[in-house]
C-alpha cells in the first residue's frame, strides 16, 4: 500500500476548508491497482483544531462526505471499503450544490 499526500490536488467546493492535506491511498495486488477492498478498513485522522468536521472522499469528480465518528480529543474515524483521495473538511455546502453530495457513495 502507498499514499500520496498533496495539500490540495482536487478543487474544493465553495464553503469547504480542509484541516490538512488530501491523502490519496492506493493498494496493489500483483502489480495491479485495486480500489475496492474485500473487507472494510477504518481511516483515522487527528484534528487539533476544535471545529465541527467530517471526513470527505473524492469520487467521480466530486467530494462526498463519509459517515464520521468524532471524539472529544480530536480523533475522527470512518469505515470505508475502497481507496481513493480522502481529507478532513470543516464544512459541507448546501444540499443544492452540484459538486458535492451527502447521498450514499457510488458503487
- Cβ of 45: how many Cβ atoms within 10 Å? 19
Find, among 62, 65, 57, the residue nearest to 102 by Cα: 65
At CA 34, angle to CA 102 and CA 55, rounded to 5? 30
Q: How high is the mean pLDDT of the chain?
A: 77
What SS3 state is found at 29? strand
Q: pLDDT value at position 3?
A: 55
Q: Note the pTM of the prediction, 2 decimals.
A: 0.71
At CA 68, angle to CA 11 and CA 7, rounded to 5? 30
Find, among 99, 98, 83, the residue nearest to 42 by Cα: 83
The number of residues making up the chain comes to: 107
24-70 per-position pLDDT tens digit: 887 888 988 888 888 899 999 998 877 888 999 988 888 888 999 98
Amino acid at each position: 500500500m502507498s499514499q500520496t499526500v498533496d495539500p490540495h490536488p482536487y478543487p474544493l467546493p465553495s464553503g469547504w476548508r480542509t484541516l490538512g492535506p488530501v491523502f490519496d491511498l492506493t493498494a496493489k495486488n500483483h502489480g495491479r491497482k485495486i480500489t475496492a477492498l474485500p473487507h472494510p478498513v477504518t481511516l483515522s485522522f487527528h484534528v487539533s483544531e476544535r471545529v465541527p468536521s467530517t471526513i470527505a472522499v473524492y469520487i467521480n469528480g466530486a467530494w462526498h462526505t463519509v459517515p464520521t465518528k468524532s471524539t472529544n480529543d480530536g480523533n475522527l474515524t470512518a469505515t470505508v471499503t475502497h481507496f481513493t483521495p480522502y481529507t478532513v473538511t470543516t464544512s459541507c455546502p448546501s444540499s443544492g450544490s452540484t459538486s458535492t453530495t451527502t447521498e450514499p457513495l457510488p458503487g
